[in-house]
Amino acid sequence: MVVLFTAINTNAQLFNKLKDKAAKALEKKPQPKSSSDAETRSTQNSETEKMGDEKAVNKPTPPGSDCAVIFTLAENEKLLYDETEVKVVNNKISYAFIVANDKYQYFLIEDGKRSGPFKVAPIKSMKPSEDDEDGSSSDSDDNISMGNDNKDPIAMQYSKTIAGKLHIVFNGKNFGPYDYVSKMIVSTDKKQFFALVTIGSENQMMAKMGMGNCFMVNEAGLKQKVGSGSMSMPMKLSVSKSFKHCMASVMDQTSQKIFTGTSTGKVEEGNMADIYAGNTNNSMVSDNGDIITIPSQSPTQILLNGKEAASFKVPIKSMDRLFLMPDVSKSVYYEKGKIYKADGTEQAVKGALFPKVITINNETTLCYYRMYKNDNGAKEVYVCKTVL
């Protein structure tokens, strides 16, 4: 009996050990994933791949062979776009960039030469960005404000009363006499000037207020009347890019008409709608002395001395982005990353900063700047040229 009990007890202990081993084995065995878990993992992998694809697609395209590096910014440096000057000199692009670092130091990079550091930025902005979305033009200073509180500071600087008569004294020479000097523009080299003056009127009081017979004058002997009546109010004076010619606009108080004339004798009757709409900066004088106008009621057109010379697919919102060619019908307009041509075609230009259109080897060429972050993380500034 004792032997039988011992055998039974031993078998029971062995069975329990085997049962425990089986249970532990089942606990360690991985459980099958549910279908929802598999779908979640698949979705995560898909989103990761999608993000990678988007990153590759959205990566900025490196500048092409028509672009060249002009300088590279240090890690702690940045461009001051509002302190940048880009212009065309003798049909060549010229630039002056201001760079600032985190120590509040400024550097001037001008046509490949770097100077500094300076405590303050050494130049002031001409064209601040690639696209002024408000469409504003930079020639607002050409407008004339009447009244003693709004007198032109340049005119006051060069005006002088001699023997009871008002004159312009320029480089030691006297010009005049005039009853009133409404506006004066001096060339950058201080050797030339254009002014809009009043000589005589229906009565002396009106003449002294600037309303009467309006004339464009300069240091070379120009005396060109603007308007036909003797009661004109000066509205605007501007000069061509080469400072060869000027253009003035006046409002005839009798007929209530706007007249625009140039130093070459070109005359155009303006639209009162431009005055009431505030569109007084939609005209300019070319280097040939022609009147270039963008009509306020049909801003896709370019008028040359009152006649259509070109037409675009989009309205011209800013004269600053209109690039006139000697043949006006070949002019181009830049807006929101596209170049529009007067023949109805357009061309995309991505990432363009400070675009300018010039003629190189008798070809119309778009010059612009690009910022690109290379694979090493350095910010490079390129100048690019594209034949249009």
Average pLDDT score over residue span 322-348: 87
Task: Note whether residue 105 is domain-resident.
Answer: no
Least confident among 57-61, 92-96, 220-224, 310-314: 57-61
Over range 353-375, report the average pLDDT: 82
Structural domain of residue 196, as residue ranges?
139-350
Instruction: Please give the torsion angle defined by the CA atoms of residues 298, 303, 308 and 312, in that order, rounded to the nearest 10 degrees.
Output: -60
Asked if 106 and 122 touch (Cβ cutoff 8 Å), the reply is: yes
Q: Lowest mean pLDDT: which of 116-130, 160-174, 212-226?
A: 116-130
CA 346 → CA 210, 260, 332, 335, distances in Å?
A: 46, 32, 9, 11
Residue 173: pLDDT band with limits 50, 70, 90: very high
Percentage, residues of the chain above pLDDT 70: 74
Element of type H or E holding 51: helix 35-58
Nearest Cα neighbor of 269 from 254, 258, 280, 283 is 258
How many domains does one find in the chain?
1
List of residues 6+ apart from 345 with CB closer than 8 A: none
The answer to whether position 311 is within a domain reads: yes
With tokens 């064209």, the residue in question is 127
What DSSP string describes 5-26? Answer: HHHHHHHHHHHHHHHHHHHHHH
Lowest mean pLDDT among 144-158, 186-200, 210-224: 144-158
Residue 198 lies in a domain: yes
Instruction: Tell me what the pLDDT averaged over the chain comes to.
Output: 78
- Top mean pLDDT of 42-46, 197-201, 204-208 is at 197-201
Report yes or no on 285 lying in a domain: yes
Q: Tell me, what's the pLDDT at 184? A: 97
257-262/267-269 β-pairing? antiparallel
Q: Are 251 and 269 in contact (CB under 8 A)?
A: no
pLDDT above 70 (res 11): no
Q: How many CB atoms lie within 10 A of CB 6?
A: 10
Round to whole Å and give the CA distance between 386 and 388: 6
Residue 5 within any structural domain of the chain: no
Give a yes or no: residue 334 inside a domain: yes
- Beta pairing, strands 92-101 & 346-348: unpaired
Phi, psi dihedrals of residue 29, rounded to the nearest 5°: -65, 125
Classify residue 366: in a domain, yes or no: no
Tell whether 107 is covered by a domain. no
For 91-138, the pLDDT digits (tens) are 677 888 889 998 889 999 888 889 888 888 776 544 433 344 333 334
CA atoms within 13 A on the CB side of 330: 11
What's residue 149's pLDDT? 62
- pTM strictly above 0.85: no
Across residues 326-336, what is the average pLDDT? 87
Q: Is the pLDDT confidence value at 172 over 60?
A: yes
Tens of pLDDT along 266-322? Answer: 998 876 666 555 555 588 899 899 999 898 888 999 999 989 999 999 999 888 788
Q: Is the pLDDT of residue 32 over 80?
A: no
Q: Measured between alpha carbons, how far is residue 98 from residues 86, 353, 384 in Å?
A: 11, 14, 19
Lowest-pLDDT range of 22-26, 175-179, 208-212: 22-26
Element (H, E) at 275: helix 272-277
Q: Which amino acid is at 241?
A: K
